[in-house]
């Protein structure tokens, strides 16, 4: 739940790059009911991560124009994800509006549009440096995943292996400190959970998209609705929800279910 300075509250709907592109590109009856419920009702608001905006900034031509046309109108919050979220989790177990970096949308209401932000991603030296560092972090994480190895039995000693995996990944972050308990650093728990699901299911196919799925999942505990591709959605519904009680009230929508 996000509370604005005016006192209005919104339920957060997390959408990643694939969802943003899917909604923007399909000009027919794409997710009409989905958009009516989550973009227009005033009860919900879309949120995505900064690295998803980095990914979108690489789009050219019609793909880019479609995203701009759609999300210069539909409000979209830009948020931190793992590992920055852990800084907020140190302070509070509740969602904090300081996790939101910026809000884009209708020009008459909001100061920033998605078009302006995408352009800045290509020209601002600080953002370009951050983007380069992000991809370097992805490569470092991929190497760690491959080094960790293929272990289909990791889930049999779930708590111990999850905690170990959380620390292995978090050690790559500048803000690292030892994690000694489960239940507090939810973003890292989700990151490590999706990471291990990929390792156990696709031991020879670990790439940037796998890393991005894990980063996206880190925001899962802080939303009301999480939209994702079918494989990750199935893992969340069948495995994650029965192991993490704080996910019980979160609605998971698969990308394939959005289209009429």
> What does the pLDDT profile of the chain (260 residues) look like in tens digits?
554 545 567 889 999 888 888 888 765 555 666 777 787 777 888 999 888 888 888 888 888 888 888 888 888 888 888 888 898 888 765 555 677 887 887 765 666 788 888 888 778 788 778 778 888 888 888 888 887 776 778 888 899 999 999 999 999 988 899 999 999 999 999 999 998 888 777 666 777 888 888 899 999 999 999 998 888 888 899 889 999 999 999 999 887 777 65
Are residue 69 and residue 90 in the same domain, yes or no?
A: yes
Residue 230: inside a domain, yes or no? Answer: no
Residue 153: inside a domain, yes or no? Answer: yes
pTM of the model: 0.87
Work out how many domains the chain is built from and give that number: 2
pLDDT at residue number 26 = 66
pLDDT at residue number 8 = 63
CB 210 within 8 A of CB 198: yes
Residue 84: inside a domain, yes or no? Answer: yes
Q: For residue 137, give its domain range.
A: 127-221
Are residue 138 and residue 202 in the same domain, yes or no?
A: yes
pLDDT at residue number 94 = 58
Are residue 120 and residue 135 in the same domain, yes or no?
A: no
Are residue 132 and residue 120 in the same domain, yes or no?
A: no
Are residue 110 and residue 205 in the same domain, yes or no?
A: no
Are residue 160 and residue 85 in the same domain, yes or no?
A: no
Are residue 9 and residue 54 in the same domain, yes or no?
A: yes
Are residue 119 and residue 157 in the same domain, yes or no?
A: no
Residue 258: inside a domain, yes or no? Answer: no
Are residue 66 and residue 139 in the same domain, yes or no?
A: no
Sequence-separated (6 or more) residues with CB below 8 Å from residue 31:
22, 23, 258, 259, 260
CB atoms within 10 A of CB 143: 12
The number of CA neighbours under 13 Å toward the Cβ of 165 is 28
Residue 18: inside a domain, yes or no? Answer: yes
The Cα 255–Cα 220 span in angstroms is 15
pLDDT at residue number 5 = 47
Are residue 18 and residue 56 in the same domain, yes or no?
A: yes
Residue 233: inside a domain, yes or no? Answer: no
Are residue 114 and residue 6 in the same domain, yes or no?
A: yes
Sequence-separated (6 or more) residues with CB below 8 Å from residue 148:
165, 168, 199
Are residue 60 and residue 142 in the same domain, yes or no?
A: no
pLDDT at residue number 254 = 83
Pairing between β-strand 9-14 and β-strand 2-3 as defined by DSSP bridges: antiparallel
């Amino acid at each position: 739940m996000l509370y604005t300075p005016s006192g209005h509250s919104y339920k957060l709907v997390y959408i990643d790059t694939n969802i943003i592109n899917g909604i923007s590109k399909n000009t027919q009856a794409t997710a009409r009911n989905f958009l009516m419920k989550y973009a227009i009702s005033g009860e919900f608001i879309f949120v995505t991560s900064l690295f998803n905006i980095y990914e979108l900034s690489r789009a050219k031509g019609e793909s880019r124009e479609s995203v701009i046309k759609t999300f210069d109108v539909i409000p979209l919050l830009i948020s931190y994800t793992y590992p920055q979220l852990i800084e907020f989790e140190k302070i509070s177990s509740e969602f904090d509006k300081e996790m939101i970096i910026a809000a884009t949308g209708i020009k008459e209401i909001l100061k920033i549009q998605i078009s302006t932000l995408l352009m800045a991603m290509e020209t601002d030296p600080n953002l370009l440096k951050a983007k380069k560092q992000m991809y370097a972090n992805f490569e470092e994480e991929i190497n760690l995943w491959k080094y960790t190895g293929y272990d289909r039995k990791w889930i049999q000693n779930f708590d111990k292996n999850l905690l170990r995996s959380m620390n292995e990944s978090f050690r790559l972050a500048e803000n690292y400190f030892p994690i000694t308990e489960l239940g507090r650093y939810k973003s890292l728990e989700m990151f490590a959970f999706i990471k291990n699901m990929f390792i156990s299911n696709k031991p020879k196919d670990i790439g940037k998209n796998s890393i991005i799925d894990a980063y996206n999942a880190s925001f899962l505990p802080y939303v009301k609705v999480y939209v994702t591709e079918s494989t990750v959605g199935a893992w969340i519904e069948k495995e994650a929800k029965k192991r993490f009680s704080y996910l019980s009230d979160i609605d998971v929508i698969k990308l394939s279910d959005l289209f009429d």
